[in-house]
Amino acid sequence: MIVVGEAATLPEAVMQASNLHPGVVVLDLNICGGIAPKEHLFSAKIVATSLPIDDESKILVESMGAAKLLDKMELASELIPTILELRPLASRS
């Protein structure tokens, strides 16, 4: 697994993803400001993170087509297994 980029804002995340073509994007919903990126802007699978996971975050994740929503309090145990589960077949060993 290789981290290929990072971003502090949603527009920056979209630009990084379109330039770097990652298999999985981990997207903190806090940088979204309540706005869902259009699903086609990320060709990667999206793992969204939020604290807390509430109805608003669930609606936002659903509207962006994210594959998974993780609670930030569970990232230490859940993030790596989730990324490994979602990564593209070609990169699996």
- Per domain, the residue ranges of the chain are 22-70
Which pTM does this prediction carry? Answer: 0.84
SS3 58: helix
Q: In whole angstroms, give the CA distance from residue 36 to residue 63.
A: 6
The predicted-structure confidence for 22-57, as pLDDT tens digits, reads as follows 999 999 998 888 777 765 567 889 999 999 899 989
Can you give the pLDDT at residue 93? Answer: 54
The predicted-structure confidence for 66-79, as pLDDT tens digits, reads as follows 899 999 999 999 99
Contact 22, 4 (CB under 8 A): yes
Would you give the DSSP letter of residue 77?
H
Listed in order, strand segments (DSSP E) in 12-66 are 24-28, 45-50
